[in-house]
A and B are shown apart, each in its own frame.
Chain A
Amino acid sequence: MTLALNIFTVLAVSAGTFFFLAGTAGLLRFPDALTRLHALTKADNLGLGLIVLGLLPLVERSFGALKLISIWLLVQLSGAIVAQLIADFVRRREPLS
């Protein structure tokens, strides 16, 4: 059981890290602000979600698990809204694109 959980942790965290890497690559390579934003938010949500999911079995107390999940939720919330704000700003500054 522990082994299975450990394998799960390794897989999930690795997958999460991969998404972060992909997101960073997108941030660096994509041509304009909106697509970069797209890459970044996707990676953030998925990557962090997977990492949190992977870490959950390692947490000893349920309060710790609650903290982990709330971190993810908070990042989701702020990430989504900040992305909106940036997109809004870009749209207003460059109405043509």
Chain B
Amino acid sequence: MMPSAALLTDATTAEGFLLVLAIVLPVIGILLLFALGGRYIERIVLFLIPAGLGVAAAVFTAVWRGGQALVYFVGGWEPPLGIALRADGLSAAMMVTVAIVIGGTALFARQEFGQPRGRPEARAPLVFWILLLAIWAALNIIVVGDDLFNLYVALELLTFAAVPLVCLKGYEDTIKAALRYMLFALFGSMLYLFGTVLIYGAYGTLDIVLLAGRVHAEPVAWIAAGLMTMGLLAKTALFPFHLWLPPAHAGAPAPGSAVLSALVVKGSFFLIVRLWFDAMPGLMNFAAAQVLATLGAGAILFGSVLALRQQRLKLLIAYSTIAQIGYLFFIFPLAAIATAGDPWSGFGWTGGWMQLFSHAFAKAAMFMAAGLIAETLGHDRIAEFGGVARALPITTFTFGIAGLSLMGVPPSGGFVAKWLLLQASVMEGQWWWAAVMLVGGLLAGGYIFMVLGKALSSTDVPFEARDSVARGREFVALALALCAVLLSLVPLRPSEFLQIGRPAVPVVAPP
């Protein structure tokens, strides 16, 4: 059953099997955990997390060394009949980010979600680890998937793992938040699927690489792209589809919030980019890019202002996520319509992705810090944070340096991202986005300092001594925040790695 003469320039590459491994490892974990139960959590997870990290690193290295995308045709069947997996530089970088955040979350959650010894299987631990692995599997498919329907299944897998995470604690409010999230997600996934159907009807394939050569700017392509984008925006919680996010992300247990905010919403964003830049490159025009970025700008302003008005830390961080998602959408006007050369070598492309990576690390660290603070205080009301800095110096420091990324202040990945995006908006002559970013940075500074100011103030009531165990978890959060800081070592110019395996400049003849 050898594949017949490949239609593509791509064919399965030597290291392509790594992509299968990256997806299959967490899936094996899910099946084993479900079958064997709570007693085996430690052993299974302890094996899978390093293995998954290793695979992600191997994919990264292979793309780096080879300078080209890894490709795998599942079952040896080439598209359009079969399903392809494809990892370019961007996918590899995403995969590593996902693996590090998942790994960090696993370390952080080990204590909270350990199966109590000698007791019957507990609900929350088993469910948490299965959901965490499912999120990992789904995100790995999303970053390497090359088939729109296969990506639909992955998107559903991601949703089905994310929703129960929201209501893992089982409180009334969290169940309500989860149900609202679910209803938004159902709406989103059906719109996405509908677009997929239209695309198959019009172009006879769902393979992203093949589609790039077939899609024309015509009504059916516009309707399909519009519906799919709307569906994915609902899942990404871009303003004005953000209603579900704050209660959902704030209601989950801290490690869950970290993964939801840092990674899960990025999955659907990644697909929007795949859709417009890879599958339908000829479709993006100035107006469409401006619409998407305007929603992004709305998210930045609206999310930041609402974050400033929150009285509870986890909700504040959740609103900050809404704002930070907004920046991602500047990639459309700032990279899609590059004035010179191809989009991938511009400042906007690298800037957009740096924003995603740095926000992933910073936000995961921040939610963990918030979790530790809430655990120590028994609440997360910002007004009563006096003395937190003295009791939890490392965590307060973590919150601070993660905040640097959100504000876009050096040294942080967020600074690199926002600097590149500013640069791009100046170069593209779209200064209005620069203005929004500056205001957004100031507002972020406002809500970060609001929290830090309270935490650094003194209090009359002394704190009880904490468990020594929490120290390890403080360091996990700190390590993730430091990852966001380390990203500032990335040179302030378009990254070459993120250009690996990108398609040639789209040339689509009008129909």
Q: Determine whether A and B are in direct contact in the complex, meaning some CB atoms lie less than 8 angstroms apart.
A: no
